[in-house]
Amino acid sequence: MHYRVTFLFVLLASLAATEVLAQEHPFLSNYTLTELPNGVLVNWTIQGGSTCDGQEVQRSSDSLNYIPIHTIQGICGSPDAITPYTWFDAAPPELSKVYYRIKLGFDGFSSVKSVFYGQLSSSDQRFYPNPAHDAAKLVLNVPLNMPVDLLVWNSKGTLVLEQTAMLGPELDVPLATLPAGEYLYRATTRAGRKFPGRFVKY
């Protein structure tokens, strides 16, 4: 009987904690993120009767350190009506999980929401993570399923990895057999377009 009561208490406490974690700020009736071409659309709605002084959209790449990326001055919300807000983030970190929250003046923060922004628009390529360990990805600005050949050299100029006819734009780069050090790579499409770069293996 003692174990059953203890289990029930732990279960109820767990459910209560889950509800607290999932609860949105009482001022908000809607808060969503949508990945669109070339950016992320942030939508939120302040419930009627709720007001605050100033707002900030804050963004983070690690869910811990946030920076303000958009500020709305003045009174937010309305004592009489539901008030929707929209902001388009045109420069989220590419090929990354991006975290957002809304600061509602001195009345606290919304919950944290995240979206994976899987686009590459500001550059022709991205090698990540860098430094890398057992594996990495190389994303190129090429059409889907375009064949790509990849060559990797160590710091002495020795060819240590060669992969042919990989299908872009996202290439898996196996690194487990390579020793730690600095490497150069060159990806080449069958049309002759070249993507050089370097990375560090730890």
Q: What is the pLDDT of residues 96-112, one digit of tens each?
A: 889 999 999 999 999 99
- Find the mean pLDDT for residues 115-141: 88
Asked if residues 136 and 127 have their Cβ atoms less than 8 Å apart, the reply is yes
Give the pLDDT of residue 196: 97
Give the pLDDT of residue 192: 94
Give the pLDDT of residue 20: 37
Measured CA to CA, the distance from residue 178 to residue 127 in angstroms comes to 16
Measured CA to CA, the distance from residue 71 to residue 104 in angstroms comes to 10
pLDDT digits (tens, 9 = 90+) for 15-73: 333 333 458 999 999 999 999 988 999 999 999 999 999 999 999 988 999 999 999 99
Q: Nearest to residue 28, comparing CAs of 104, 113, 112?
A: 104
Give the pLDDT of residue 11: 36
- Find the mean pLDDT for residues 82-100: 93
What token pair was written down for 115?
């979206």
- Find the mean pLDDT for residues 126-143: 91
pLDDT of 13 > 50? The answer is: no
Give start and end residues of each alpha helix (H) in the chain: 2-22
Measured CA distances, 63 to 52, 113, 153 (Å): 24, 9, 35
The dihedral region occupied by 62, where left means phi > 0, alpha psi between -120 and 50, and beta the remainder, is: alpha
Indicate the pTM of the whole model.
0.63
Q: How confident is the model at residue 3 (pLDDT cuts 50, 70, 90)?
A: very low
Domains (range + CATH), the chain: 27-117 (2.60.40.2060), 125-201 (2.60.40.1930)
Measured CA to CA, the distance from residue 108 to residue 111 in angstroms comes to 10
Q: How confident is the model at residue 116 (pLDDT cuts 50, 70, 90)?
A: confident
Q: How confident is the model at residue 7 (pLDDT cuts 50, 70, 90)?
A: very low
Q: How confident is the model at residue 2 (pLDDT cuts 50, 70, 90)?
A: very low
Q: For the chain, give the mean pLDDT.
A: 88
What token pair was written down for 139?
């994303």
Percent of the chain with pLDDT over 90: 74
pLDDT of 113 > 80? The answer is: yes
